[in-house]
Amino acid sequence: MERQIATTPFGSRPMSFALVAAQFDASAIPEGKTVGKWQVYRDLCEGKSVIGVGDRALAVLAALLSFHPDDDLSEENGLIVFPSNRQLSLRAHGMAYATLRRHLAALLECGIILRRDSPNGKRYARKGRGGELEDAFGFSLAPLLVRAGEFAAAAATVRSDNRALKLMRERITLQRRDIGKLIEAAIEEDAPGAWQDLWRRFRAVVDRLPRKAAIGDLEPFAAELDELRDEIDNALKELINVENPSANESQNELQQSNSNTNPSSEFEPALEKASRVAGVELETKAARREPSKTYPLGLVLKACPDIAEYALDGLANWRDLMSTAAQVRGYLGVSPSAYEDACHVMGQECAAIVIACILQRAQHINSAGGYLRALTEKARAGQFSVGPMLMAAVKANSPSPDRRAG
């Protein structure tokens, strides 16, 4: 049973008010409190950077915990372990005594364990006549029980920070890929503009990226890449100024095969029907919201001109494109659920662009539905961006120098 008074260390080891305070804190154990010793240990391993304890010290703590007979720590089960240095060294995989003492001191300094020294400084337990444990001297694990919540919070903080860092790195990786490929495509197409200057600025940012950095160190680089991406998008909007294709004879034939001449009424019921088949209702506001024009409509039509043949009254705006994509989806054999999922994950405008690109390369794609689902899963995992796909389509549909000369 833990005593409610401070005990002083044996021999020449100094006593301090910090040690007294730590002992009083460790004695304030709520009645009936129980925690799993290995869960606390795992939390300490995850939150070690917050607590300020090292790997080797945690290895010594694991050895100490192995001497506690129960899986749960509680005041009723006793919180003193009393292995000799020899036993502890063996449990710590043969750690040298000097190293062992150094890491025990680190655990004591962090307030993870406490000493409870015997009169002669040795570690042992005294049992009563009935074999029950009356008193023990060694290391107290009471701080693990008292501070279990603190250690769990430290582990949660580290996990949250690691997730934020991972998301930041993914954001930078996507921006690097998109910016690099968009600039390369513009340079290969001899597009007018300061593309070489944008490339030099892009490489200057990328070359300064540290291999290992905290999220705060990466935020300025992400901001610079976002600024570059905005400049590239604006340059593309100014560069691509394609007039809306007018309806030709093939369009008229398609229009005659469709009795509904209202593009809005064609788009919304199609999606509602797809939702009923998939068992999911579309949000009306999301369906009617004006899409964010990340890419110019003219650029999309230059990359994927075939979709214009399926438009009822031409493609004057993004709503017309999404309406047409909802129809083309059926022609390609894409199930309503697959298209609905793509709209939910990518956004309706990006899903429409992907459908247009799939239509443009339909003869090279065995299963349009399977291809769309694969792209949707990549987008859900943050591994797909429509920009490179669109620029590849632009390049594929641009006349080569030989064809221009001919």
Residues 369-404 have pLDDT tens digits of 889 999 999 989 888 888 888 888 888 877 655 444
- Summarize the confidence of residues 341-367 as an average pLDDT: 90
Does residue 88 form part of some domain?
yes
The confidence score (pLDDT) of residue 163 equals: 92
- Give phi and psi for 80, each to the nearest 5: -105, 130
Which helix H or strand E contains 1, and what residues bound it? Answer: none
Core vs surface per residue 49-66: b (16+ CB within 10 A) or e: ebbebeeebbebbbbbbb
Asked if residue 6 is part of any domain, the answer here is: no
Residues 83 and 128 occupy one common structural domain: yes
- For residue 23, is it within any domain? yes
Q: Are residues 264 and 376 in the same domain?
A: yes
127 in helix, strand or coil?
Answer: strand
Q: Tell me: do 279 and 381 sit in the same domain.
A: yes
- Do 398 and 265 lie in a common domain? yes
In a domain, residue 155? The reply is no
11 assigned to some structural domain: no
Residues 115 and 67 in one domain: yes
Highest average pLDDT, of 27-36, 230-239, 251-260, 263-272, comes from: 230-239
pLDDT of residue 21: 54
What's the confidence (pLDDT) of residue 122? 82
Pair 83, 115 in one domain: yes
Model confidence at 193, in pLDDT bands (50, 70, 90)? confident
How sure is the predictor about 125, in pLDDT bands with cuts at 50, 70 and 90?
confident
The whole-number pLDDT of residue 61 equals 94
Q: What is the pLDDT of residues 144-174, one digit of tens each?
A: 988 889 999 999 999 999 999 999 999 999 9
Percent of the chain with pLDDT over 90: 25
Q: Answer with the one of 216, 239, 262 that is the final residue of a domain.
A: 239
- End-to-end CA, the chain: 96
Residue at 156 is within a domain: no
DSSP state of 363: G
Structural domain containing residue 52: 17-146
Does residue 135 lie in a domain region? Answer: yes
Averaged confidence pLDDT in the chain: 78
Domain boundary among 146, 176, 194: 146
User: What pLDDT, on the 0 to 100 scale, is given for residue 294?
Assistant: 58
pTM of the complete model beyond 0.85: no
Q: How far apart are CA 3 and CA 117, in angstroms?
A: 13
What is the bridge-based pairing of β-strands 34-36 and 114-116? unpaired
What CATH number is attached to the domain comprising 142?
Answer: 1.10.10
60 and 113 housed in the same domain: yes
Q: Is residue 251 domain-shared with residue 378, that is, in the same domain? A: yes
**Is 10 among the domain residues?**
no
For 246, list phi and psi in degrees, rounded to 5.
-85, 160
Q: Are 85 and 131 in contact (CB under 8 A)?
A: no
CA dihedral 395, 357, 308, 191 (to 10 degrees): -20
Number of separate domains in the chain: 3
Decide which of 187, 217, 239 is a domain's last residue: 239
**Which pLDDT value is given to residue 13?**
53
Quick one: which of 197, 206, 205, 188 has its CA closest to 232? 197
Sign of torsion, CA 85 90 91 95? positive
319 and 300, same structural domain?
yes
- Continuous segment of H or E residues that includes residue 305: none
Average pLDDT estimate for 12-32:
58
Q: Please indicate, yes or no, whether residues 232 and 247 belong to a single structural domain of this protein.
A: no
